[in-house]
Structure 1
Amino acid sequence: MTQNYVVLLGTKGGPAIRPGSSMPTSNLLCLEGEQIVVDCGLGVSRGLVDQGMQLRDLSLIFITHLHSDHYLELGPLLHTAWTAGLKTRVDVYGPAGVDAYWQAFLASMRADIDLRIEDEGRPDLRDLVAIHVMDAGHVMVRNGVAVSALRTEHPPLVDTFALSFKTDGVHVVFSGDTAPLPALEDFARGADLLIHEAMLKSALPALTARVGNGSEKLMQHLLRSHTSAHDVAQTATRAGATRLALSHLIPSDDPSYGPQDWHDAVAGHYDGALIVGHDGLRIDL
């Protein structure tokens, strides 16, 4: 079995969960022995454990942007890994503001952290986590994995990023959240796997009605800040991506829509291998 793979831990677009729904966005990317977490929506800790990962081995995390369905569980994941035996450094890369989030989380948990250091003899969690504010362009190289970022179109946020992970033999791209973005075509050029957010326009009226406490602004946000499935397919085709995985599905929890609706939306726009994401789906590379 290949040691290079992606697991779509959470495939739901948006932060809310309901009985029977999938979980918000999180992913595990394994390349060249590196276990890389991409986004930390609600449920990421459980999702990693369900894949057999020891949380004490956590070492590298990327956050694409500061919407709660992508970073709500960042602090709890790091804290839980610490209680599970973490004693080595974790590098966290994310947009401006992720550093403030981490400091605020530490402040909120100070009593517990200090108590466990004193009462249980644990290392100081504050010394184990290194926060790196990233920008577009080259981000880092580690153990043969080169990471770069592309600023996406996801208003009203500005610091929102797609991420490219390259080794000598594998190229994986995460779109992050974005409206249709021509620059993503070059960014994902020849990717072995493009993991792209996707939306079904026909399902949006029912989705916004189900939310219950929003307004017409929610519909406006969805239309200006996300990408419909047929546009995703066209991006993948122009990029020459070998495989396309749809994730951050909008909607993912409406029983009136299923995998066939996503296939139908892509049909005629992309001829490569299409994967409709669901929680826990492993894609070998």
Structure 2
Amino acid sequence: DAAGRGSLRRAGIELACVRTLHSPEALAWRAVLPGGASLTYSGDTGESPAVADLAAGSDLFVCECSFPDSEPSEHHLTPSSAARLAARARPKRLLLSHFYPHNDPAQALLAAARIFGGAIECARDTSLHELR
């Protein structure tokens, strides 16, 4: 719609999206599978309440974490801003992703864990994550 929200259902999968705080065409997505498991992907975004609301209660929230806390950005997240979104959304698991080369995932994980008290890990190329 004009506000950047939408939803559809195909093959028993419910999809919903919201615009993010990035370029005008950037979207965050949530998929709910036929059995009820849910995945939310933040896409590129700044610290957006709409993205947190979309991710609310997700089984897995894949959230970008581009920059270290020392380099805040209005169009990308840091470990602390990603953790604040997760704290608001309260997903079962938080998976930090989209690390720029100068943002060390191990340090990002430690910083995010100081704010988000739930299960958290960093995505790695070729890693698989089961929805449960």
Q: Are the counterparts in 1 of residues 93 and 118 from structure 2 also a CA contact under 8 Å?
A: yes
Hey, what does 2:5 align to over in structure 1?
136
- Provide the C-alpha distance between the structure 2 equivalents of 1:149 and 1:193, rounded to a whole number of angstroms: 15
Gaps of 5+ in 1: 1-134, 205-221
Aligned letter for 2:26? T
Letter in 2 for 1:272: G
Q: Give me the whole-angstrom Cα distance separating, in 2, the residues matched to 1:147 and 1:223.
A: 28
Q: 1:195 aligns with which of 62, 78, 84?
A: 62
Match for residue 149 of structure 1? 17
- Point out where structure 2 has 5 or more consecutive residues left out of the alignment: none
The secondary structure found in structure 2 opposite 1:241 is: coil
Report the counterpart of residue 184 of structure 1 in structure 2.
Answer: 51
Out of 24, 44, 56, the position equivalent to 1:158 is 24
After TM superposition, give the deviation of residue 250 of structure 1 in Å: 2.1
User: Aligned to 2:109, what secondary structure does the other structure show?
Assistant: helix
Map 1:25-174 to 2 at 5 A: 136-138=5-7, 140-154=8-22, 157-167=23-33, 168-174=35-41
Identity of aligned residues (%): 31
Counting helix residues as a fraction of each chain, which structure ranks higher? 1
Alpha-carbon RMSD: 1.7
Report the structure number with the largest CA radius of gyration.
1
Q: What TM-score, normalized by structure 1, do the two folds share?
A: 0.42
1:158 maps to amino acid? P
Which whole-Å CA distance do the structure 2 matches of 1:234 and 1:186 have between them? 12
**Counterpart pick for 1:260 among 106, 128, 132:** 106
* Rounded Cα–Cα distance in structure 2 between residues aligned with 1:265 and 1:182: 20
State the SS of the aligned residue for 1:282.
Answer: coil
Pairing partner for 2:76 from 223, 226, 237: 226
After TM superposition, give the deviation of residue 142 of structure 1 in Å: 1.7
Aligned equivalent of 1:114? none
Question: For the Cα contact (< 8 Å) 2:30–2:39, is it kept in 1?
Answer: yes
What is the one-letter code of the residue matched to 1:273? A
Residue correspondences, number: 126
Residue 164 of structure 1 deviates from its aligned partner by 0.6
Structure 1 distance, partners of 2:99, 2:106, is 13
Cα displacement string for residues 53-107 of structure 1 (whole angstroms, at most 9, x for unaligned residues):
xxxxxxxxxxxxxxxxxxxxxxxxxxxxxxxxxxxxxxxxxxxxxxxxxxxxxxx
The runs of at least 4 consecutive aligned structure 1 residues that moved more than 2 Å come to 257-260
Q: CA deviation at 1:224?
A: 2.2
Q: Please state how far the C-alpha of 1:267 moved relative to its aligned partner.
A: 2.5
| Paired position in structure 2 for 1:48 | none
Match of 2:120 in 1: 274
Give the whole-Å Cα distance in 2 for the aligned partners of 1:284 and 1:267: 21
Give the TM-score normalised by the residue count of structure 2: 0.86
